[in-house]
Amino acid sequence: MSTQTAAQRRVEAKTSYNAFMEGCPSRQLLDRISDKWVALILAALGSDGPHRPGVDHDYGPRSMRFSELSRRLAGASQKMLTQTLRSLEVDGLITRTVTPTVPVTVTYELTDLGLSLNRVMAELKGWAESHMGEVLAHREAHHRVAAED
Amino acid sequence: MSTQTAAQRRVEAKTSYNAFMEGCPSRQLLDRISDKWVALILAALGSDGPHRPGVDHDYGPRSMRFSELSRRLAGASQKMLTQTLRSLEVDGLITRTVTPTVPVTVTYELTDLGLSLNRVMAELKGWAESHMGEVLAHREAHHRVAAED
DNA sequence: CAGGATCCCGCTAGATACTG
DNA sequence: CAGTATCTAGCGGGATCCTG
Instruction: Report the distance from CA of residue B65 to the C1' of nucleotide D20 in Å, as an integer.
Output: 18
Kindly report the nearest CA distance between residue B54 and chain A, in angstroms.
Answer: 23
Task: Give per-residue pLDDT as tens, A101-138.
Answer: 999 999 999 999 999 999 999 999 999 999 999 999 99
Q: Among A7-16, B19-28, B89-98, B115-124, where is mean pLDDT lowest?
A: A7-16
pLDDT at residue A39 tops 80: yes
pLDDT at residue B9 tops 80: no
Percent of chain A exceeding pLDDT 90 equals 65
Residue B110 or residue B74, greater confidence: B110
pLDDT at residue B12 tops 60: yes
Given CB atoms, is B132 within the 8 Å cutoff of chain A?
yes
**pLDDT at residue number B49:** 46
- When pLDDT is cut at 50, 70 and 90, the band that residue B36 belongs to is very high
Strand C neighbours among A 70-99, CB < 7 A:
76-80, 83
The stretches of chain A forming alpha helices (DSSP H) are 5-23, 25-33, 38-46, 66-72, 78-90, 112-147
- pTM equals 0.86
Task: Give per-residue pLDDT as tens, B86-132.
Answer: 999 999 999 999 999 999 999 999 999 999 999 999 999 999 999 99
Task: Report the pLDDT averaged over residues B60-68.
Answer: 87
Angle A110-B30-A119 from CA coordinates, rounded to 5°: 35
Do B124 and A93 make contact, defined as CB atoms within 8 angstroms? Answer: no
Pick from B18, B29, B39: CB nearest A128: B29
Residue B141 or residue A11, greater confidence: B141
Task: Report the pLDDT averaged over residues B53-61.
Answer: 52
Q: Which nucleotides of C are covered by protein (CB under 7 A)?
A: 1-6, 13-17, 20
pLDDT at residue B68 tops 60: yes
pLDDT at residue B138 tops 90: yes
Cα–Cα distances (Å) from B21 to A103, A134, A137, B148, in that order, read 32, 19, 19, 40
Partnered with residue A108 across adjacent β-strands are A64, A96
How many other CB atoms are there within 10 angstroms of residue B120's CB atom? 18
- By CB atoms closer than 10 A (0-12, 13-18, 19+), residue A59 is exposed
Instruction: Report the distance from CA of residue A117 to the C1' of nucleotide D2 in Å, as an integer.
Output: 27
**pLDDT at residue number A149:** 57
Instruction: Report the distance from CA of residue B109 to the C1' of nucleotide C5 in Å, as an integer.
Output: 27
pLDDT at residue A63 tops 90: yes
Q: Among A47-51, A64-68, B122-126, where is mean pLDDT lowest?
A: A47-51
Task: Report the pLDDT averaged over residues A47-75.
Answer: 71
Q: Coil, strand or helix: which one is B98?
A: strand
Do A127 and B117 make contact, defined as CB atoms within 8 angstroms? Answer: yes
Q: Among A20-29, A58-67, B12-21, B25-34, where is mean pLDDT lowest?
A: A58-67
Given CB atoms, is A144 within the 8 Å cutoff of chain B?
no
Q: Among A3-7, A71-75, B18-22, B28-32, where is mean pLDDT lowest?
A: A3-7
H-helix or E-strand spanning residue A107: strand A105-110
